[in-house]
Amino acid sequence: MTTRILDGRLLSAEIRAEIRKDVEQFTKNTGYPPGLATLLVGDNPASHTYVANKIKSCKDVGVASFHYPLPASASQSTLKELIERLNRDPNVHAILLQLPLPGGLDSTPLLNAIDPWKDADGLHPVNLGSLFEYKNWREMIESGQPLSCTPHGVIQMLRRSNIQMAGRHAVVLGRSKLVGKPMAMMLLALDATVTICHSRTQDLPAACREADILVAAIGQPRFVKPSMVKEGAVVVDVGMNRAPEGGLCGDVDFEAVKLKTSAITPVPGGIGPMTVAMLLHNTLQLAKKQAA
């Protein structure tokens, strides 16, 4: 079987080129660019790398970037006050609170404090809850609301790779509000039959083997083995972990599993670049909403 490697770098470059044109037109029409504010608390090296990449990507497509680095000692109230100030700032159309936060800080009330129409990551309860309301993908997209970036990146990867979702059995491995739950709602909107699996799922390998499309998002290095994958399945790896021998790896044992798949995403270079592209997409869509 010939396996397709789904190249997130290539696809995200295509999406960024589309966004760049739209941003240029938006800026010409309004006299100002879409603006993204990034809040980074503490010294987590991975978070610093992620945010630096996001800032670079903003510059690449013409989005204004407002970066707010804060020490790990920053208080909950300081962060909330900053978010409330950015909610009122007309130059900021989208706000991203980089997760995870240092110990002692609670992300939930801070994410809830972000104006739903400035929610760059689509994690506000209003935006997550709205996913249950839409009948189909067209309604979801036409709403203009921000969709969770990583699941939306997965969907764009599958759609732009001409991988059919309607009528197929999709298994989502992981139930977080960041990926698993919104991922399931988006797949349902595209008429897939969806199963969510997690740590308490009985006979997890058997459940995963039922998948035509398997999305792994559990944060465990190389957890998904060939014995968990159906011959010819499409495997999407959302994980990003430090490999025991150094370097990065996903939640899927890539080299072993790819031999059984019809298509698979690598780590790095798969869903990561798509997530950043969807963040830029959300920023532009939110700017359009606020300009309307």
DSSP secondary structure of 129-157 = HHTTT-SSHHHHHHT-PPPPHHHHHHHHH
- Residue 1 reports pLDDT greater than 80: no
pLDDT bracket for residue 133 (50, 70, 90) = very high
Q: Catalytic residue at 54?
A: yes
Active-site residue flag, 290: no
> Tokens in use for 131?
């996913």
Dihedral sign, CA of 19, 20, 25, 31?
A: positive
Mean model confidence pLDDT for the chain: 96
pLDDT, position 289: 95
Residue 48 pLDDT > 90? no
**Which of 22, 119, 121, 253 is labelled catalytic?**
121
**Global pTM?**
0.96
Residue 49 — pLDDT band, cuts 50, 70, 90? confident
pLDDT at residue 219, as a whole number: 92
Helical H segments across 43-179, by residue range: 45-61, 76-88, 107-113, 125-130, 137-142, 149-160
Looking at 22, 54, 260, 285, which residue is catalytic? 54
Give the pLDDT mean for 79-100.
97
Q: What domains appear along the chain, each with residue ranges and CATH number? A: 32-115 (3.40.50.10860), 137-272 (3.40.50.720)
pLDDT, tens digit (0-9, with 9 covering 90-100), for 142-200: 998 999 999 999 999 999 999 999 999 999 999 999 999 999 999 999 999 999 999 99
Is 253 an active-site residue? no
- Of 78, 95, 94, residue with least CA distance to 42: 78
How many whole angstroms separate alpha carbon 198 and alpha carbon 177? Answer: 13
pLDDT at 124: 96
Neighbours of 41 (CB within 10 A): 24
Hey, what amino acid is at 161? S
Residue 65 has a pLDDT of 98
Reported as a pLDDT band with limits 50, 70 and 90, residue 246 is confident
